[in-house]
Structure 1
Amino acid sequence: MEHRGRIVESTGSWYEVSYRQDGEPKKINCRLPGRFRLKEHKLTNPIAVGDFVHFNINDDGSGSIQEIEERQNYLIRESTHHQEGNQILVANIDCAYVVQSIKKPAIKRGFLDRFLVTCEAYQIPARIVLNKIDLATGTDQPKIEDFAELYDSLGYKVLSTSIKNEKSLNRLKEDLRKKTSVFVGPSGVGKTSLLNHIEPSINRKVGAVSDYNEKGTHTTTFARLLPLHSGGYLVDTPGLREFGLVNIEPWELSLFFPEMLEFRQQCKFNNCTHSHEPGCGVMQAFEEGHIHPDRYDSYLNILDSLENA
């Protein structure tokens, strides 16, 4: 008899699947036949947390995955450390939250904007969690307000949070309700601490942030789909040091910067990269103050990495 379930955790060789049998919630460890790995040779993981699968139960109580359902969407990044293929972080999600911290470590604009580009490219609604606001001083406040105003104006809701501020946690809880969401961000920004306060029963291990380099330690080894008592699911992912873009050509990068969409239509050349070409509508808009300097700098840095990949 074949069953349908959802991948809760993937360790590379085993997949934990959540399913229902006779109306009761159950979990089972499944393996994936080799034919799926050959089919998805461009991926480091042919199956991801959040995938819906069909499986059979073996005599020893383990499962064997027979089918992977077509994905509604997925969040993908380029593999690091010279690995071949790309990595799907999570599949079938309603919203992706990129978590950044005010300090320890500071906001990483390059990581943030690359993540948002991927969400735009793969049609995933995205939001920003600005964490550790309790560390902000009076001089930080104008920068925080400018940051929130900029990204709000681009269509990305910004949620300021602190584990020491119950109201901010309640706002985040409400935002997560009845959705399948994912937390993504560099190590040390407080993803796991937020998760433990949102859902105390989970009690995930929290690491420290080095005072020397302000880099966090990896406390989450594998992505895991976690049920929320308020309704919905949240995927906690390992801390990422970088976020490489997948299947995006230099000429199409501006399609994923919302503030450039209108102005790119005024460019003289169809394949304009908005970096040096004459008659460029985006460059003119930047010079006239319609595009924020930090975002344009991010665009140029990402463009350079794509052109020199």
Structure 2
Amino acid sequence: MEKKGKVLLSTSLGYQVHLCDGNNIIAPRRKNLDIRKGNIIIGDIVSLDDNNQIFDISPRKNLMMRPRVANIDMAGVIVSAKEPSFSTFLLDKYLTSCSQGNVPSFIIISKWDIASNDEKSKINIFLKYYEKLGYSIFKTSKNNPDEDEKIRKKVKGKVSIFMGQTGVGKSSLINRLDQNFNRAIGNEVVLGRGEHKTKEVAFLPFLGGYLGDTPGFSDFSLTLSKDQLALDFPGFFDYSQDCKFKGCLHNNIKGCAVQRAVNDGNLSLDSYNNYLKLLEEASSDNGFEKKSSHKEWGRKTK
């Protein structure tokens, strides 16, 4: 009898699949699985045969490339207020990755309690801009259960992941949200970067949905073209529709509506400079196949 379930993680024996009846099993990939389906990805909805072998992968509603995960309702992008230092560059990079994968996102500032008042004031200036763009923002710490409860309500019944730089406290937050979780936490600090502990994406059943912990990265590259970046960068899409030239990359081009929005103060100059850095990193080819419409890509959650 055919069974369906969600792939939670990959193991040496196969994939851990959470079945519709609530049970978890280890299921290998059937040898004759259609190669056109591609590789099985964490988050996939799969069909199992009587031998508990995966023989089909359901169509994905979205796919993130880094971390590589499928069928996500929302992503919590975590940046720390301190240790490692707050970085709008990494924040913009992660938000762009979510937009590329058509995954709505929100922002979590971790370690808020150890930041000085001066540091908090500077960070709040940046956060006001992201709030203006429509992102929900949570400021968390070990001793702030009220903020943790707000995040629980946010992700309840959803398929969500937490993503961010190494050492920002993704696993610590997950453990606080549910004490039954026992995610490994890196306590060592080398050159200001926490030790890598979470080695791969892993989903955990949580409040009627799933919560995913992802590997931390000291840095990562976006797998998208310059054209995609110009559309997917936070806050750019609506303005880009008014650019004078089709395919505008928003870099020193006369008639660029994005540059005009920066000059008028509607878009952040700091964030725009982050975009120019990412533009240098982006490939000049077409990258992955473009969606037919970017209008709904990576819409923020309110």
- Check whether TM > 0.5: yes
- The residue number in structure 2 matching 1:169 is 148
Looking at structure 2, the residues matched to 135 and 27 of structure 1 have their Cα atoms a distance apart, in angstroms, of 39
Instruction: Identify the residue that residue 250 of structure 1 maps to in structure 2.
Output: 226
Matched residue of 1:203: which SS?
coil
Distance 2:234 2:87 in 1: 20
- Residue type of the alignment partner of 2:226: P
Q: 1:242 corresponds to which letter in structure 2?
A: D
User: Residue 168 and residue 38 in structure 1: after superposition, are their counterparts in 2 closer, same or farther (change >3 A)?
Assistant: same
Structure 1 residues 261, 223: closer, same or farther in 2, change over 3 A?
A: closer
Cα distance, 1:203 vs. partner?
1.9
Structure 1, unpaired ranges of 5+? 78-87
What is the distance in 2 between the residues matched to 1:199 and 1:48?
Answer: 25
Offset at residue 208 of structure 1 (A): 1.0
Q: Does 1:50 align with 2:26?
A: no
CA shift digits 1:219-273 (9 cap, x unpaired): 2122211122x43220111112333223x33134222235333433443321221
Cα RMSD after superposing both structures:
2.2
Count of residue correspondences: 285
The aligned runs of 1:253-292 (5 Å cut-off) are 253-292=229-268
Task: With the length of structure 2 as denominator, give the TM-score of the two structures.
Answer: 0.86
Aligned residue number for residue 80 of structure 1? none
Cα contact 1:2–1:54 (8 A) shared by 2:
yes
Distance across 2 between alignment mates of 1:138 and 1:256: 33
Change beyond 3 A, Cα 1:14–1:139:
same
What is the CA distance between 1:132 and its match in structure 2? 0.5
Alignment partner, residue 215 of structure 2: 238
Equivalent residues in 2 for 1:47-196, closer than 5 Å: 47-58=40-51, 63-77=52-66, 89-196=68-175
Give the conservation status (yes or no) of the 8 Å contact 2:81–2:120: no
Given that residues 157 and 209 in structure 2 are in contact (C-alpha distance below 8 angstroms), is that contact kept between their aligned partners in structure 1? yes
- CA distance in structure 2 between the aligned counterparts of 1:13 and 1:308, rounded to whole angstroms: 40
Q: Relative contact order: is structure 1 or structure 2 higher (C-alpha 8 Å, sep ≥ 6)?
A: 2
Secondary structure of residue in 2 paired with 1:10: strand
Q: 1:7 to 1:108 in 2, by over 3 A?
A: same
Secondary structure, counterpart of 1:182 in structure 2: strand
AA paired with 2:27? Answer: C
Q: 1:161 Cα deviation (Å)?
A: 0.5
Runs of 4 or more, structure 1, over 4 Å off, are: 34-38
1:213 aligns with 2:206: no
| TM-score between the two structures when normalised by the length of structure 1 | 0.84
1:188-229 CA-to-partner distances (Å, cap 9, x unmatched) read 10111111111101122211141x51101122122211122x
Letter in 1 for 2:249: T
Relative to structure 1, the CA distance from residue 263 to residue 135 in structure 2 (aligned partners, 3 Å threshold; closer, same or farther) is same
User: Which residue identity does 1:54 align to in structure 2?
Assistant: S
Q: Is the 8 A contact 1:9 1:49 kept in 2?
A: yes
**Percent pairwise identity:** 34
301 and 17 in structure 1: CA distance in 2 versus 1, 3 angstrom threshold: same
* Partner-residue secondary structure (3-state), 1:130: strand
Equivalent runs, 1:286-301 vs 2, <5 Å: 286-301=262-277
Cross-structure match for 2:5: 5
SS at match of 1:197: helix
**1:183 Cα deviation from its structure 2 partner:** 0.6
